Chains A and B, each alone.
Chain A
Amino acid sequence: MKCILTIIIALALLSTCAQEKYWVYFSDKKGVTFDPKEYFHPNAIERRIKNNYPINHFSDRPLVKSYVQEVSGLASLCKGVSRWLNAIVVTANDAQIEQIRELPFVLKIEASSCHSVVCTSEEINVTHNDFEKRDLIRFQLDRMNAHQFKEHGITGRGLTIAIFDAGFPGVDKAPMFEHIRARDGIIGTYDFIRNTDNVYRKIEHGSMVFSCIAGVTKDSLRLGVATGANFLLAITEKLMKEGLAEEEAWLFAAEWADKNGADIINSSLGYTRRNHFKQDMDGQTAIITRAANLASAKGILVVSSAGNEGNKRHWMMVAAPADGDSVLAVGAINPWSGFHTNFSSFGPSSDKELKPNVTAVGHVIAYHKLLKTSETQGTSFSAPLVAGFAACAWQANPTLTNWELLKRIETSGDLYPYFDYAHGYGVPQADCFLSNTASKSNDSAFIVDIGDSVVTISIRDDLLINDTLFHVSENHDGVINIITKRDDGIKIDKNHPFIKHELFYYHLENKEGFLDEFSVLSVEKNPIVKIGLDSLEDRILRIHYYGFTRSIQF
């Protein structure tokens, strides 16, 4: 009996005396002196000027020292301070937090008591040989026409990309990153979990992500396009630990990246149901999303993986910070099938913003510590492909602001002006940044027959490309089944197993401006699709095929 009582008392004490973590927001920054030229890297000041953002903005000034000291003195532990939010993170018990709440300069207090792990990638090998690997390397960049950047000598030079991830082992030694190390292209590193400069440790997910931005194999094959950019590497991810601590680390890392002149932040991390409810994915609730929006306001282009929740029936939607309206959320396509890969999270955000914004190849060849390169998959890797792409696009168009660049990347999507919540505007195309290539929008590609009860859509015969070489299906584990569908002698192109497939897309947009449903069809014969008129009432039917888009208002 004594033992039982001991157990009950111990656990009850544990639950009642537990320390919680809180964000304590201050009301002002009175009396604070701040010299932006001393604090910021020149790039950061330049970026602010370009974006018409004050170089001495309230949010960039330091916190009032006495406020921080007073709150820290009352709390059990101060875990960090944020200039952007004018707040500090503390751990405190109920009594302590009540004392803090009484302080006259405390604006508000928010509990921060959730825990999490994140899912950043799934790894299922499906390429079969070295040849297929090499072709996948080619395809992961060619799908964006990114070779055109190289042909124009554009490698992201002059741009700084900050990568926030779980660790970068091997980046300090691997030949894949030698070209960056040789020119001191890694200009800053910091581990926001352990508060050290050493980031070349822990989980190699960050190294893999880095390789998809700027890695070059020993055969001079480029895994990413921004081989000439500079880099800031930060660890913000603490696997198997507190999720919100990671979101907070992300915020501190964003402030650090801003201070050190980052132009682009790549975040291949996503926070979902372990930290949040779906309704929190509204672009303004999650700490990490708020941080990403603030970074964007200061002129940084934030590129985030959309998340790998597409096949997880209890979430499916994008992961924070991809829900931010200023964040370029990147989904994933399957290089075999050419359309959405099943793990890639779907949009929209809970406030019905279009997400993901764009897509890129989500099954890639990336750095591997032992094998040098290996195949991996996840939106963790489609995002850095686009981050590298964005660096090159920005180098080619240096007058663009981050917001203009984001919009230009969207309009460069191969589906644009069509969009849906699986592909966004499609895969961005480099040629849109190198010439004034007009997007095809000639709706004469389609023959639309509106009958009494059914709308029948066909494709002009000369555009009908019978892309039925493969019948592609995916199971819930992301395993791809490719079956040759035709027996008329057409075989898989052995030289290029990865090709762009021409598929038919359509969606229904309601009068509130968001999509009710969307679909992708293979194209075999006319008619392509028949849709009941009753389901089209007060809606816009938008169809897309082979670069052509047509909208029909009902």
Chain B
Amino acid sequence: MVLRVQYNFNEMRIALITHMLIFSMAGFCQDTLLYKKTVETLSEGDFGPNKKNYIHTFFKVGFYQNTDALNTCLIQGGNSFTSGYGVRFKRKLSSKLAFGYDLGYDFNQYRFKRDLSSLYSQLNGFLTADSLKTDKLTFGILELAPYFRINFGKRGDHLGKYLDFVFYGALMISSKHVLKWDHPNSSIIKKSTYKSRRLGYTNKLFYGIEMRYGNAFYNLFMRYRCVHIFNSKLNDNPYQPSLISWGAYIIIPD
């Protein structure tokens, strides 16, 4: 291909842009398979771990704490969990301080110990606690969680360890309550299941606080929800699910 000497206006503009963006008039005739400026490789930039701005995704797994507090439903520890996925934005203020926010979705499940939870009796008073096999509440929430970070160690931010102070607000977007009974004394019905969605007896908005301790790879967290799950429609029910959860965030690098 012969380089054309005369250009019309558009071609001149394209040529100029090519000159500026690609490489000082190189590669008119052939395909440029690779072009690299060394400064791009060496540049630290201001985006990435340890840099001014960073975004990464995370997985979260946690468990609800079974407490002895008054008016708390006893739950089945391992089966009452929270898991989630989200994106974390971070902006560095200095080598010691940073702030940011998480956007994420959390799936939560409570499995209540049937001998203490009395919720079902309000919902289906004709059934007894003795025959209840399963009492499971699940709900999904969308969460926004601003945080303030204090870094430890000389390397600052992501290469060190850090403590995050988090406030979160959440909107419940789905909920389901499942109750299953055995009927050992009935010759007709052996088992029955009660499933209810879009529950009217739960709160929709939550908020709480969280503290995280972690590093570039994972965070350990403890969270305290300041709002009860069940609302005033169950106000004569004395029991509420646990407010405390703990677990870990697994950080997925960008």
Q: Which residues of A contact B (CB under 8 A)?
A: 3-4, 7-8, 10-12, 14-15, 18, 20, 111, 113-117, 240, 273-279, 314-317, 337, 339-340, 346-348, 350, 352, 420-422, 454, 456, 471-472, 503-504, 506, 514-532, 534-535
**B239 at the A interface (CB under 8 A):** no
Pairs of residues from A and B, 8 with the lowest C-beta to C-beta distance, nearest first = A314-B48, A535-B24, A532-B24, A521-B30, A520-B34, A11-B211, A7-B222, A522-B31
- Contact status A346-B26, CB under 8 Å: no
Residues of B within 8 A of A420 (CB): 36
Given contacts A7-B244, A275-B159, A519-B36, contact A529 B31 (CB under 8 A): no
Given contacts A3-B224, A11-B163, A277-B44, contact A531 B217 (CB under 8 A): no
- Contact status B222-A11, CB under 8 Å: yes
**B178 at the A interface (CB under 8 A):** no
Docked Cα-Cα span, A273 to B25, in Å, equals: 35
- Contact status A517-B160, CB under 8 Å: no
Task: Choose from B3, B33, B67, B155 the contact partner of A530 (Cβ within 8 Å).
Answer: B3
**B189 at the A interface (CB under 8 A):** no
Contacting residues of chain B (209-248) with chain A, CB-CB under 8 angstroms: 209, 211-213, 215-217, 220, 222-224, 243-244
Q: Which residues of B contact A (CB under 8 A)?
A: 1-3, 19, 23-42, 44-45, 47-51, 67, 69, 152-155, 159-161, 163, 209, 211-213, 215-217, 220, 222-224, 243-244, 253-254
Residues of B within 8 A of A532 (CB): 19, 24-25
- Closest chain-A Cβ to B52's Cβ sits at a distance in Å of 12
Given contacts A11-B211, A274-B253, A277-B50, contact A471 B31 (CB under 8 A): yes
- Contact status A521-B33, CB under 8 Å: yes
- Contact status B224-A115, CB under 8 Å: no
Task: Choose from A346, A472, A530 the contact partner of B25 (Cβ within 8 Å).
Answer: A530
- Closest chain-B Cβ to A505's Cβ sits at a distance in Å of 9
Task: Choose from A4, A340, A454, A528 the contact partner of B34 (Cβ within 8 Å).
Answer: A340
Task: Choose from A113, A340, A346 the contact partner of B41 (Cβ within 8 Å).
Answer: A346
- Contact status B243-A522, CB under 8 Å: no
- Contact status A517-B153, CB under 8 Å: no
Docked Cα-Cα span, A471 to B50, in Å, equals: 39
Residues of B within 8 A of A337 (CB): 33
Given contacts A113-B153, A277-B50, contact A15 B163 (CB under 8 A): yes
- Contact status A527-B161, CB under 8 Å: no
- Contact status B154-A111, CB under 8 Å: yes
- Contact status A114-B155, CB under 8 Å: yes
Residues of A within 8 A of B211 (CB): 7-8, 11
- Closest chain-A Cβ to B86's Cβ sits at a distance in Å of 20
Residues of A within 8 A of B152 (CB): 15, 18
Residues of A within 8 A of B163 (CB): 11-12, 15
